[in-house]
Structure formats: structure tokens, C-alpha cells
Structure 1
Amino acid sequence: MKRMTTQLRGLIAQGPTLYVPGCYSAMSARVLEEAGFEAIYMSGYGTSLSLTGLPDVGLTTMTEMVANARYIAQAVKIPLLADCDTGFGNAINVMRTMREYIAAGVAGVHMEDQVSPKRCGHVAGRVVISFEEAVGKVRAAVDAKNGIDPDFVIVARTDARGAHGGSLDEAIKRANAFLGAGADLAFIEGPTSADEVKRICREVKGPVFYNMTGVSPRFTVDEMRSMGIAMCISPNPLLRAALAAMHDLAKELKADGPAAETRFNARFKDHPLGDLHTFAGFDQVRTWEREYLGEEAMKKYADSVGHVPR
């Protein structure tokens, strides 16, 4: 089997536009895999909110981000692109960050040029580091991954478009410099119109990565293909859907108590994922038990009371 890094690189190369939705946990990653996606994305916003209950303002550590990425990568059989914020420090820190993400089984990362602590690329208050330092960090990331797995994908992101004192001109300049430093794709965060996106696609001298969220315009996949966008992410639709569903059920539970759960369970059992034990993987566990535990242990399990997945 090809390495996940090689698989992701191949998916991007085959084009014309690889569309990758975001997850925030191993469970949500498995839902995307079940839906048939060929690759997935770990949202930094989703990681921060789901792990800490806090916004995406640089409060999650490298250890927390890598741990979440590891859980996700091990839960699925498709490649994972993950947010690695600013690389968690200067160029020297970035080198270790690449090693950690690669060791976690991630197929690629995107890294931005904000000052630390960073924040979500679609809220106010962003500041970017100097051009020279930003390019140096990309070079460090590329050199570090080339020493381990040259197929590991580096997406270099600039927030210069929306940062204090920034401009689209500066963002395009940085994007091209990042590609020149060895990045695989260039990511200009926060364009605010279709004309800006089209200009990015014309003037960036290499594959363009697009984040379709926040202030940025929405396109169909066909429209992105016509512009030449190589890869697009939708970071948080699953996060929003989960929040909405949990909130609505929580209000029902508060109002009606256990009766609300009974009503919900009746609806859920008819859902494609309604057999929760099967989705969780108990069928596989039972197969492993029959293969490895022996007859005596299986007799004990057979005598226990409870739901046995199909």
C-alpha cells in the first residue's frame, strides 16, 4: 500500500480540484470516510473548540494538535491534511513540528505566517511576521520533511491579505516566495471577492490552495476547476452540524427528560449510522476475538448479556 503522503500527493496531482472537508475528531473523520471522501482535513478551529472549548486564537499547543491529528490519522484509511498553525515557534521549532506531524501519520500540513499567538484567519486582529522570517520557516519545514518523507505535503499559508497593514499584493508576493522555497501549494487566506480569487489563480506561480469559509466567496467544484484551484477545504461544516444537533437535543432533554432520548433513539435507529455499535467497530472486535482469544475466552463472552453487533 502506498504511504498516506504519497496518496495525498497523487490525489492533488490528478486534479483538477481536490475537495476536502474538515473534521475535528477521530469520530467525525470516520463519518467523512464513511461518506466516501478520498482525503480529509483536520481543522485547527475545530480542534481548539472540541478539545478545550476555546476559540482558535493559538491556545492549543503543538502536543495537543499533534495528538488529535494522530487519533484521526489512525482512525481512517485515507490521507489527512492537518492544520499546524504557525509551526509553533520559529524556524527551528518548525523543524521539530514537521517531525512530530510526520510521526503521527499525517500526510501533510498547512502552516501560516502569523505572529504567535495566532488566530482564525477570518477574524480581525491578525498580524504577520516579516517576509524574510516567513520564507525561512517554509524552507525549514521543507528541509525537515525532505529528510524523513519527501512526499509529505507542505501547504504554505499567508495571512497578509487581511492582516494589519497587509494587502493582496503582499500576499501574492509571499505565496510565490513560499513556492520558491519548496512549498507544494500556496494558500492565501481570506480573499473577499471572486475577482481576488481569480487574480490569485492567475498570479500565483504554482498550485493554489483555497479555504472556502468565513469572508471568502463560495464556488461550486466546477467553478474552482475552471479557475485552476488545486485543492479546497471546507473546514467546519461537520462541527457546526454537530453543535446544532447537540444543542437541539440538549434543549429537548432539559424540557422532557428521558422521554426526549427515547424519541431521539427511535429516529436515530433508522439513520444509515443508526447501528452505533456497528459503526464503532464491534464487528471487527468480535472477528479479532474469534481469531486470537481462543475457545475458552469466547465461551465467557458468549455467556454475557448485551447487544451483539451483526
Structure 2
Amino acid sequence: MTGLIAAATTATDKRAAFRAGLTSGTIQRLPGAINPLTAKLIQEIGFEGVYVSGAVVSADLALPDIGLTTLTEVSGRGRQIARVTDLPVLIDADTGFGEPMSAARTITVLEDAGIAGCHLEDQVNPKRCGHLDGKAVVPTEEMMRRLRAAVSARRDPNFVICARTDAAGIDGIDAAIERAKAYADAGADLIFTEALHTEEEFAKFRAAVDIPLLANMTEFGKSQLIPAQALEDIGYNAVIYPVTTLRLAMGAIEAGLREIHDTGTQEGLLGRMQTRSRLYELLEYERYNEFDSGVFDFTLTGSQ
């Protein structure tokens, strides 16, 4: 019963697939998964990877995205998600949860959790959401120490270490480009520049940096929502949709709860719900039944 209970693909193979995807010429699309079940749906629909957002992990705990979550909480959610999908999982590791030594430990913990890659950012710890004002970034050299520590701790060379810079919204796009080049020199495999505004800015960044780039297409932020094909045409290698599934789910949950509160019944909501049969299909209930009967369906013989 390969792939039952846990994904059939090993963490090593997922990491190799992610690294190969970043140089394939085809943009790697990674929607955020709010839970393991969403990750199964992301795989079924045909995306190239799964993203785990720090903002979503925080929101799931009813906390703002200001660095309150711990490595244990974030890696635990990442492990749950990575376990059920054959797709590579990229996770948001904030600032590495502390000083450079903590960033090094973060890499080892995420590797052990089956994650394919993570991004570390150059914000001052504790961080703020990348599309809010009032952020501050550490000096370039301090972020380079953070990245070098992470790279030195990596045991699987295919584990992707992505460097995120928030400098564009503070010091301008040229400063962000200079930081990206320095972070590549420090060993980053992938660069994520946060809160660019327009397609032209994304293209300017691409022209200036010669390692793989990741775009963040989050809603209600500072960035124009650029289609994946357009990002691929510009030369971007990956795109994340970090909070989309949470926003979809919470919008539907809030509307549904208000209707039940106001009308006393969910009868009018049934057409908007995932059906029981669809849920069971996604969970592969039938395969579990086959497995269960295959293990326990036997008869006693002789003197037993």
C-alpha cells in the first residue's frame, strides 16, 4: 500500500526534485498549505510544490506574524505537511529563530522534518509581516553570517536555502539587489525579494541577479498580482501563494458561521461545502479499507 498514511517519495528525492525544478525553465508554483489535507489537494491538482507560510502558522494559532512562533511549532507543522505529500515543501523559517547558531540548528531540524527547503530573511528579530510598514533590516554582513551558518549546517546538499530580503521597501530596489548578490555569495541557492510593486520591478531584479529567484504573490499586499506565466517569461523560477488558502477558508467559514447564527441552520450552505464523498476521496478511505481487510481478513484453521 505504497503512499498510504505517508507519502511514498523520500525527503531526499523531494529535495532533488525541487532543486531540479528551480533550473528547469518552468516556474515552480507553490501554494500555501494551511494543513496536511490542503497539501494533498495541492498535489492532486497538479502544482509543483507546497509552501508553509509563517504568517499562516501564526494565524492558525491566533497570533500576529511578528515572530512569536517557535522553531518547534513551525517545524512541527512543516513535518505534518511534508509527511503526506510527494511534492517538495518550502517553509518560512523567519529569521532563523535567533542568532546564526540558531539558524544553523533550524536547518538541521527542518531537514529532519522532511522539508525540501526554507527561506531565511534579513529582518531584525523579531520580524514583521513583509507587506507591512515599519520593518527594519539587519546589516548585510549580519545576514551573511546567518546564511553561512545555515549553509554550514546543511547535511543534504540538495536542501534549498533561500535568502529573503526586505530591503526594497526600506532602502529601495537597488539596495535589495546589492543584498541579493551578497547573499548569493554567502551561499544562498535562491533569492526571495519581498514587496516589489510592479512587473517592471520584478524584471529589473531578474536582470540584476543571476541565481534562481522566487516571487511572492500574496493578496492585499504591495505587489501587483502577476500571473505565473508572466513571471516565468520574466525569468522567475518559483512563485508562492502563501496565505491564499487560509483567506479562502476563513472567508467561507466566517460567512457560513454568520448564516448559521442568523438562520439557525446550515441548510443553505450545503452547495458551498466539500461533500462527505469528496472528503473521503481525498483521504483515500477506500485504500485504507483495502489495507485493513488485507491485514485482518483471515480465518482460523486446525486447532487454533
TM-score, L = length of structure 2: 0.89
Structure having greater relative contact order (Cα 8 Å, sep ≥ 6): 2
Select between 151-160 and 185-194 the one with higher mean Cα deviation.
185-194
**Once the 2 structures are TM-superposed, how far is the Cα of residue 208 of structure 1 from its aligned partner?**
1.4
Kept in 1: contact 2:29–2:48 (CA 8 A): no
Gap change, CA 1:296 and 1:266, over 3 Å in 2: farther
**2:188 aligns with one of 183, 191, 202:** 183
Which residue identity does 1:255 align to in structure 2?
D
Structure 2 CA distance for aligned equivalents of residues 277 and 225 of structure 1: 35
Structure 2 CA distance for aligned equivalents of residues 185 and 208 of structure 1: 6
**Once the 2 structures are TM-superposed, how far is the Cα of residue 10 of structure 1 from its aligned partner?**
1.4
**2:251 aligns with one of 244, 260, 267:** 244
The aligned counterpart of 1:302 is: none
Kept in 2: contact 1:268–1:274 (CA 8 A): no
Q: Deviations over 1:157-210 (max 9, x none)?
A: 1111123xx222221111011111111111111112232212111111322111
**Once the 2 structures are TM-superposed, how far is the Cα of residue 265 of structure 1 from its aligned partner?**
3.7
Which residue identity does 2:223 align to in structure 1?
S
Which residue identity does 1:178 align to in structure 2?
Y
Q: Deviations over 1:251-304 (max 9, x none)?
A: 1111222x31x44346646x6x7432332332232122112234479xxxxxxx
User: What does 1:184-223 align with in structure 2 at a 5 Å threshold?
Assistant: 184-213=189-218, 214-223=221-230
Structure 2 CA distance for aligned equivalents of residues 223 and 277 of structure 1: 36
Kept in 2: contact 1:70–1:104 (CA 8 A): yes
Structure 2 CA distance for aligned equivalents of residues 235 and 20 of structure 1: 8
Coordinate RMSD, CA, aligned: 1.9
Kindly tell me the number of residue pairs found equivalent between the two proteins: 288
Q: Deviations over 1:122-160 (max 9, x none)?
A: 011211111111011111111111xx1000011111111
The aligned counterpart of 2:117 is: 108
Gap change, CA 1:114 and 1:12, over 3 Å in 2: same
The aligned counterpart of 2:52 is: 42
Corresponding position: 1:80 with 2:89: yes
Select between 238-247 and 20-29 the one with higher mean Cα deviation.
20-29
Structure 2 CA distance for aligned equivalents of residues 199 and 240 of structure 1: 30
The aligned counterpart of 1:158 is: 165
Structure 2 CA distance for aligned equivalents of residues 106 and 58 of structure 1: 20
Q: Residue 109 of structure 2: SS of its match in structure 1?
A: helix
Q: Deviations over 1:216-253 (max 9, x none)?
A: 12222232122111111111111111011101110111
State, as a whole percentage, how many aligned pairs show the same letter. Answer: 35
**Once the 2 structures are TM-superposed, how far is the Cα of residue 81 of structure 1 from its aligned partner?**
0.7
Q: Residue 66 of structure 1: SS of its match in structure 2?
A: helix
After superposing on structure 2, the runs of 4+ consecutive aligned residues of structure 1 that deviate more than 6 Å are none
Gap change, CA 1:5 and 1:266, over 3 Å in 2: same
Kept in 2: contact 1:175–1:204 (CA 8 A): yes
Gap change, CA 1:254 and 1:292, over 3 Å in 2: same
Kept in 2: contact 1:16–1:228 (CA 8 A): no
The aligned counterpart of 2:242 is: 235
